Structure 1
Amino acid sequence: MKRPAQRRPLWWNTQLPQLLRPRVLWGLQVLPLAGLGLSFVPWFVWVLPWAEQGFPASAGVSTELLLFLLAFLALMVGGLLAGMWAGWQLNAAVCRFLRGWPAEQVRQVFRESQLPPHWLKAGVASGDAHAESLREARRQLDEGMVRYVLKVGVLRWGLLMFLGMGLIGPWLRDGQLSVRAVAVQALIWTLAGIGFGLTLWSTERARLRDQHKA
């Protein structure tokens, strides 16, 4: 007996900008973006100052520094995802307890990506964001692994993180940027973007295989 295919929750769905009205989309993004922003606080307040003392620039590159960077990136990505996830849980709670949605409707929307008709853009025929995400995932995977990793991992996620963590954050903290620091940050977030893209590539391929078997 085939098990039912697992549907993608709303917080992990990449097709919302193509389906939702701008006002609805931005309303849903407020709390997740707040959670994402708050996830940076521990890094800037505690971790980065400690790292600058423990690994001064004059010390050069060492094995300990590389291991620290790998652990730093892994924990930071986990924190970002946790912050966004928490924001989406708050969205669900707002709809359930403040807007009076039935529990089943909250489950369908936030856990199964079944969008209410009044959330959709004009001309969008289906509110099944899960099905839309599958179609888009197939299209992106058909372009090949290298193109997928570069576009999704490096140019989307890696570039965004480079701007936020590598440029804006240090500039706000120190008031200046050095060429060396920018180059190091560019290398870090390029490698992190490649890793992120490869992870998503593997995840999407596995998800599509499960959907095909279901």
Structure 2
Amino acid sequence: MAGAAGRLARRWSWGALRSPVQVTCSQAFPLHMSGTAMRASQVDFENAMNQVKLLKKDPGNEVKLKLYALYKQAMEGPCNAPKPGVFDFVNKAKWDAWNGLGSLPKETARQNYVDLVSSLSSSESSSQVKPGAESKQGAYEFLVVTSEDGITKIMLNRPAKKNAISTKMYQEIMLALQAAGKDDSALTVLTGNGDYYSSGNDLSNFTDIPPGGVEQKAKDSVILLR
């Protein structure tokens, strides 16, 4: 069994995953069901496929199988290919991963593919701070803040939600700007991780209504924005 696993690891082509259209059809992997109200569009899906080609780190066979299965499900729906032979280890692993998604809708598979690629890209971006750049990540959950050569860079880091700004992110942005105002930075840059700078306010901000009601929420939001 160990020998078979070794052959699978050696034969799996990372290059093939980078061009998912080239590959042919374990376990049913747990899926992240996105909470975003807006489903990923075909453009989002195609952008995610391009992002996969730009990944610098091999995410490992399990993640690659999951990406493959979600890609096939999003493109073709439930697995419709004959099961490979027991000794065709690579194609059998792919088939098992795809077949394990069952009747998952194409739209959901597409969204999960986009979310997974975004999380992989986000992980790489967070770990690739340039040598000499001072990372200030410890204080932030949804930002990546670095300072280098007199420039502070504040990056919105919520790519799976298209960097929609939550109440917590507003608070973190204020902290980052205050910190930049006290150090020796001459310039502060605000940017976003992933394909989107920001889609604007996270609509879930408006679901948390305080005791004062909607009017109080509106007043608090104005103060926060200022």
Relative to the length of structure 1, the TM-score reads 0.30
Say which structure is richer in strand.
2
Question: Which one has a bigger Cα radius of gyration?
Answer: 2
Relative to the length of structure 2, the TM-score reads 0.29
